[in-house]
Amino acid sequence: MMIEQQLSAAVRAAIEALYNHTVAPEQTALQKTKKEFEGHLTLVVFPFLRISRKSPEETAREIGQYLREHEPAVADFNVIKGFLNLTIAGSRWVEALGAIHADDAFGTRPITAESPLVMVEYSSPNTNKPLHLGHVRNNLLGYSLSRILEANGNRVVKTNIVNDRGIHICKSMLAWKKWGEGATPESTGKKGDHLVGDFYVLFDKHYREELRTLEATGLTREEAEAQSPLMAEAREMLRRWEAGDEEVRALWATMNSWVYAGFDETYRRLGVGFDKIYYESQTYLEGRDKVLEGLSRGLFYRRPDGSVWADLTADGLDEKLLLRADGTSVYMTQDIGTAKLRYDDYPIDRMIYVVGNEQNYHFQVLSLLLDKLGFAFGRGLIHFSYGMVELPEGKMKSREGTVVDADDLMDEMIATARDISNELGKLDGLSREEADDIIRIIGLGSLKYFILKVDPRKNMTFNPKESIDFNGNTGSFIQYTYARIRSVLRKAAEQGLTVPATLPTDTPINAKEQSLVQSLADFADVVREAGETYSPACIANYTYDLVREFNQFYHDYSILGEADERVRALRLTLSAETAKVILTAMSLLGIEMPERM
């Protein structure tokens, strides 16, 4: 924030004047004063003791005295050991509020044609089943990270790699051929991804029954799996797909189209999207070609059985299979092919993969391989590794009893939001259409906030009931506060009161109002920190703290009933700018804000 930069320069001037010594700007960085101390900003003076040759307390007092005499922004100071706590003049906080008010894009940086191009990959679903709870965290993190990187002045390409080929989709296809009786999403009334997922489950059911039958004849589990006629048929279907069999390819295209339509609906409801979608069926051959190219350049080696490997032991990793003995690809090969296509399509400066932490080793290997193959972003590849998300035991189990579908989760959140809102009377006086829209905003906002407020690197448990609480660290609490502020501003307009374009610097401003301005001014630093650490949680928890502080201010002081016109104008501006920052912050999390609740 500007005040910190100004005071940092003033501290350097003080040190030069007092001790005839020049220090670097990073040595005079100030931090927010701890709540238990008086003041706004704190300077730690221990690094300057060698220069001052005095005690911490005396050094802090001398610098504080100099600043109070020579820097108009400093109204007062106090010293606690080696900590110099500075109180900023009220006029500077009024100026700071005015600067925030004048900046419609406050907290964000502009994007130009020269801005770095960052590609963010997230979602990465398989086409044999619906998106599930794990995909929800992945999509929310990826989309929010993309918004945060854009707010930090980056050009961002949001991308998705769809795993649309392989044995998994062949299992669904085979089950549909055997037992589907021509079922379609239209004939069954089911979303296409759920319908295809049902056939995947059906294949597994028949496969397990087949294994039990084979094992009853005396075969071991391994022997039964090797002799399974059903699995042999699925593998044969995969072989025919890879050979370009027209019938198999036609069924594959049809069933995948059902899944894509289902995915699109889920993505739309979740509020996420992509600029470019890649499909594994289009990338795996590219990957195989790059591996063979690397083999010809001596980067990889071929074993006697014909398989191709990368020896990464010199880099502290293991040997890695890249092509099987029969020439078919593995996941690593496909990722290489996808990277190649992306590099052809975009001049990528930074590539970020949003993938769970169980894939940490995979991305270490991929980074090395891409670097060896000559991709500029290879060594700097970023794996945004996040933890797993689970539900409390016994909550919202799906038909299979193990995985919670994203669609079911969103339905449950909206239903929970409706129940709690009705119970608290939040929907009284609203039309059915208004109520439905607000319930949707609350339900999905609560889901997103509850997931995004957690450090992405940590595992978490998602509890639907806990996520909708109008008084806790929840999305609904923040949404309610935003709606409250918007209500105040509407009432002000009805009374002919508007937020002024500017505020006189001599406007009275009390300590709590100053603190609220300081919290608003912190927003730009929070956005920068979130972009540097890849953590939407920074934004979420900052917003919660801001909302708590505003609610205390709202409780303690009248806004529209304030008799002093200058103070009333200040408080209206404070309210409007708090709403603006909340709206921007929550938009970076992909969360909608209701105008009324």
- CA dist., res. 339 & res. 300, Å (int): 18
pLDDT on residue 542: 98
Determine the pLDDT at residue 402. 61
Kindly provide the residue ranges of all beta strands, DSSP E only, lying in 391-483, ordered along the sequence: 460-461
> Counting Cβ atoms within 10 Å, is residue 221 exposed (0-12), middle (13-18) or buried (19+)?
exposed
Expressed in angstroms, the distance from the first to the final Cα of the chain is 33
Our separate counts of H helices and E strands in the chain read 22, 14
What's the pLDDT score for residue 522?
Answer: 96
The span from the CA of 282 to the CA of 164, in Å, is 9
Tens-place pLDDT, residues 192-241: 999 999 999 999 999 999 999 999 999 999 999 999 999 999 999 999 99
How high is the mean pLDDT of the chain?
94
**Integer Cα distance of 198 and 285 in angstroms:** 30
Domain 406-589: CATH superfamily, name plus number: Isoleucyl-tRNA Synthetase; Domain 1 (1.10.730.10)
Cα-atom radius of gyration of the chain, to the nearest Å?
30
Residue type, 423: E
Does domain 277-404 bear CATH number 3.40.50.620? Answer: yes
Amino acid letter for position 319: E
Q: How far apart are CA 117 and CA 345, in angstroms?
A: 12
Q: Give the integer Cα–Cα distance in Å for 450 and 308.
A: 45
Q: 22-31, 258-267, 477-486: which has the minimum mean pLDDT?
A: 22-31
Q: Cα dist. 393→130, 260, 407, 484 in Å?
A: 22, 31, 19, 36
Q: For residue 396, what pLDDT is reported?
A: 41
CA distance 146 to 320: 31
Per-residue pLDDT tens over the stretch 409-456: 999 999 999 998 888 887 888 899 999 999 999 999 999 999 999 999
Q: pLDDT by residue (tens digit) across 176-187?
A: 999 999 999 999
Helix, strand, coil percent values for the chain (each to nearest 5): 60, 10, 30
- In which element (H, E) is residue 323 found? strand 319-323
Exposed/middle/buried for 548, CB within 10 Å: 0-12, 13-18, 19+?
A: middle
* Selection from 389, 386, 370 nearest residue 378 by Cα: 370
The answer to which of 29-43, 67-81, 98-112, 463-477 has the lowest mean pLDDT is 463-477
Query: What was the pLDDT predicted at 395?
Result: 47
1-88 has which CATH code? 3.30.1360.70
pLDDT digits (tens, 9 = 90+) for 377-407: 888 899 999 998 887 764 444 444 467 899 9
Taking the C-alpha atoms of residue 16 and residue 51, their distance in angstroms, rounded to an integer, is 10
List all residues 6 or more positions away from 181 whose beta carbon is below 8 Å from its beta carbon: none
Domain extents in the chain: 1-88, 165-274, 277-404, 406-589
Q: What is the pLDDT of residues 141-158, one digit of tens each?
A: 999 999 999 999 999 999
Mean of the pLDDT values across residues 278-295?
94
What pLDDT, on a 0 to 100 scale, did the predictor assign at position 1?
62
pTM of the entire predicted model: 0.92
Q: What value does the mean pLDDT take over residues 455-459?
A: 95
Q: Which residues pair with 8 in a beta bridge?
A: none
Average pLDDT over residues 491-500: 95
Among 86, 81, 80, smallest CA distance to 11 is for 86
pLDDT at 121: 98
